Amino acid sequence: MHEYSLAQALLESLLAYLREHPVSGRIKKVHVQKGELLLLSEWALKEAFRILADGTGLSGAELQIESVPVLVRCPSCGYEGDVRYLAEEGWHVAVPVLACPRCGAPVELRAGKDLAIVGLSVEESTPV
Amino acid sequence: MHEITGAFGDVMQKQLELAAQNYELLKKRGVRAVNVMGAIGSGKTELILRMAEKLGARGLRVAAIAGDVAGDDDYQRFRAAGLPALQINTGDQCHLDAHQVGHALEDLPLPEVDVLFIENVGNLVCPADFPLGTDTDLVVISVTEGDDMVRKHPKIFAQTDVVAINKVDLAAFVGVDPERIAADYRKVNPHGKVVFTAAKSGRGVEELLSALGF
């Protein structure tokens, strides 16, 4: 349960960005990419953001979360890309296996533990 | 409605930067550090104490950080064993983070330490998302937790270098096959090292140290 602290970090980084780059109109959606290795509940993260954003310039904005897959680089054979998934009966989740799918060697993680804001959907302000 | 796209920053990046600072400081002081994770009651403290005895006998100076939501029981055990130790009470946070560990490093006599064990809060979820800047991660499972621990928490095991399956001397009493836990771990982590231990009797402690690179 660390969704609140991360939602707070997302909110603070976004508010700081908006102080530098104000937008005209209400922000309706905040697009976030979440690495699939992070052990975060998407529901709890959205709810935390909704509650923490209330009363700020992002009041009413909703997190739109996209899960991004693990990407690796293999120092042994140079492979770069996604990995094999283990999906055993009864596990109910597909687990990324952090080994090179081409040569089997240990790999470096390139993506899969990120939590990044990648876009905003802004409602146009109606001209008066 | 219009869209603004771009890189607005990664909030996990801050954690990685703090962890990297800890790592650099530990390297500069010549300290090798291990992040010890595992459920409450898996035997993390006891295993650290047994490893500290063996490392002490080799002339290495060991220190420990005890991470707990509340209380200082583990800290007291480290101190009673003569280890320089610090308690971090997380105040209901379910994991240690690099920021807290960074402050603890300021208070430890690092020039007099060769090996630092950082005992994380008993939890198999949140600690996996927060790197501390250690050389190695270790997860301790006790057989009394059941033989389905890897299947219930696959992502932390997929990312952990070394696993100790502890209290194997109790396996027969609780009807658990430690080999089954090891087999699940090898599936999610083909390069991980798994060691069977019984901390109270000292069984497997040398093997665990060697799996951790000592």
What distance in Å separates residue A116's CA from the closest CA in chain B?
4
Contacts of A55 (CB under 8 A, 6+ apart): none
pLDDT at B41: 93
Among chain A residues, the shortest Cα distance to B124 is held by: A39
What mean pLDDT value characterizes chain B?
Answer: 93
pLDDT at B38: 94
What mean pLDDT value characterizes chain A?
Answer: 91
Among chain A residues, the shortest Cα distance to B125 is held by: A39
What distance in Å separates residue B130's CA from the closest CA in chain A?
10
Q: Is B6 close to A39, i.e. CB distance below 8 A?
A: no
Model confidence band, residue A128 (pLDDT cutoffs 50, 70, 90): low
How far apart, in whole angstroms, are the C-alpha atoms of residue A4 and residue A51?
Answer: 9
Q: A2 vs A122, which has greater pLDDT?
A: A122
How far apart, in whole angstroms, are the C-alpha atoms of residue A25 and residue B214?
Answer: 59
pLDDT at B108: 94
Name the pairing type of β-strands B85-89 and B62-68.
Answer: parallel
Give the H or E element holding residue B180: helix B178-188
Digit-coded pLDDT (tens) for B170-193? 999 999 999 999 999 999 999 999
* Phi, then psi, of B92 in degrees rounded to 5: 80, 0
The residue extents of the domains of chain A are 3-68+112-123, 70-110
pLDDT at B90: 83
CB B178 within 8 A of CB B168: yes
Beta strands in B17-109 (DSSP E): 32-38, 62-68, 85-89
**Cβ-based neighbour number of residue A102 at 10 Å:** 12
Among chain A residues, the shortest Cα distance to B150 is held by: A91
What distance in Å separates residue B83's CA from the closest CA in chain A?
31
Token look-up 């390297």 returns: B27
Domain A3-68+112-123 has CATH 3.30.2320.50: yes
CB A30 within 8 A of CB A61: yes
pLDDT greater than 70 at residue B158: yes
Percentage above 70 pLDDT, chain B: 100
Q: Which of B19, B13, B89 is nearest to A9 (CA)?
A: B13
Q: A101 vs B71, which has greater pLDDT?
A: A101
Model confidence band, residue A126 (pLDDT cutoffs 50, 70, 90): low
Give the H or E element holding residue A63: strand A62-68
Exposure pattern of B8-34 as b/e (b: 16+ CB <10 Å)?
bbbbbeebbebbebbbeebeebebbbb
Digit-coded pLDDT (tens) for B9-57? 788 888 899 999 999 999 999 999 999 999 999 999 999 999 999 999 9
Mutation target to probe the A interface, by most A beta carbons within 10 A, among B5, B12, B13, B97 is: B12
Mutation target to probe the B interface, by most B beta carbons within 10 A, among A19, A62, A97, A110 is: A97
Domain B11-211 has CATH 3.20.20.70: no
pLDDT greater than 60 at residue B112: yes
